[in-house]
Amino acid sequence: MAEEAEEEDEAEYHSRDFAWEDLRDEIESDASLSHHLLSSSLPSSSIGSSSTSSSIDADAWRSFHHRHSTGRFFKERRYLLKEFPELVSCCDSVKVLEVGCGNGSTVLPILRLCSAGRNTVVYGCDCSEDVLERAKEIVSAAKGIHIKDRFHPFLLDFSIHSFPEWLVCSSCQCSLGGKCVDFSLDGHREKPSKSNAPFMGEDQCCIGGVDFVTLIFTLSAVPFDKMSLIIERCASTLKPGGLILFRDYGLYDMTMLRFSPDQRVGSREYMRSDGTLSYFFSLDVARDLFCAAGLVTLELEYCCIRSVNRRNGKTMRRVWVHGKFQKPMPNPS
C-alpha cells in the first residue's frame, strides 16, 4: 500500500526550507481552511466496520496500483540513505522489512548497498499482486544491482493480516523481547514452510526477525484506528535494538489543504474520489502511536520542503514527518 510522494531528486532535496510553525499560523488564521481544523465528528469507524473498511481500503489500493501499473507514478527515493544513514553504517549482514513496498521505489536504494559488498536482504510486502510483479521487474532491470537472494516480495494486506511466521515465529518472537501474542485481526497466521518461504533453510523455523522496518508513505494509507495494531506488528518483527524508519505526510502538507470538507472521514483523515485514504500526522500523534508499541523515539521532526512545479511554476510547500523509533534491548535477568 505504498502512498504516492512527490519528492525531489536527491540533488534538490532540502528539509528545512520554511518553519512549520509559520505555516501552521498561516493556515489556522485562514477562514477558508477552517474545515481542516475541526475536531472530527466523523470518526474513522464511520467509514464502515473494522474488517469491512480495511477490505474496501485494500481494494481501492489494488485498483490504484492497477491503474498505475507502468510505474511512472513513482520515483526512486534516492534521498533515503541520506535521511536514514543507519542503513549504510550498520553491519554487513542486514535484513530489512519494507511494509507497503509498492513498485520498489524504496527497495531500490536499499538494494544498491549490495553492490558495495553488503549482504543486504529486503523483504517487501504489499496488498497488490500487480504492484509486486512490477516491483520485481523494476528491481531486476536496475543496473548495478545483484539481487539474487536479496529481494523477497510477498503478498500481504497488513491492515488485516499479521505478518507470516517465517519472518519471526512465535517462539523467536518471545526470545526477541516482544509480546508473545497473535496480532492478526482474523485469527489466522501463516505457519513457516518451504512453499511460502523458499529462501529459508530446511531446518529454519524463521529468518529470526529483521534489523529495520521501513514505513515510507504507508501508514497514512490505512484507517487511523488500525495504525496502533500495525505498528505493534512491525515492532514484533524487529530484533532488539532494531529500528522502524518512518516517513509520511505531515500536518498542513499542501495535499491536505486540497481536500474539500466532504472528503473528511476523521480528524486529519481524508478519502480520495478513488476510495484511497490519506492521513496527516502531527508529531504528537506519531510519537504517541510508536511509544504505545513500546518503541523509543530517537528522532522525530517535520521536514518542510519548498519546491516549484515545473509545469505551472507554482510554489509547493510540502510537509512530511520523519521519525526513527527503536525497539529496546531486553532487560537482563
What pLDDT score was predicted for residue 1?
Answer: 45
pLDDT higher than threshold 90 for residue 327: yes
* CA 243 to chain CA mean position, Å: 13
More confidently predicted of 113 and 262: 262
What are the structural domains, with CATH classification, of the chain?
A: 74-168+205-249+262-301 (3.40.50.150)
What pLDDT score was predicted for residue 187?
Answer: 46
pLDDT higher than threshold 50 for residue 281: yes
* Residue 7 exposure: Cα atoms within 13 Å on the Cβ side: 27
Q: What is the pLDDT of residues 59-80, one digit of tens each?
A: 765 565 555 555 455 577 778 8
Confidence of residue 181 (pLDDT cuts 50, 70, 90): very low
What pLDDT score was predicted for residue 87?
Answer: 86
Segment holding 288, helix H or strand E? helix 283-292
What pLDDT score was predicted for residue 32?
Answer: 93
More confidently predicted of 313 and 237: 237
What pLDDT score was predicted for residue 73?
Answer: 52
- DSSP-derived secondary structure for 185-200: SSS--PPP-TTT-TTS
Count of CB atoms situated within 10 Å of the CB of 85 = 10
pLDDT higher than threshold 60 for residue 188: no
**241: which 3 cell numbers?**
535494538
Rounded Cα distance between 54 and 196, Å, is 24
What pLDDT score was predicted for residue 202?
Answer: 76
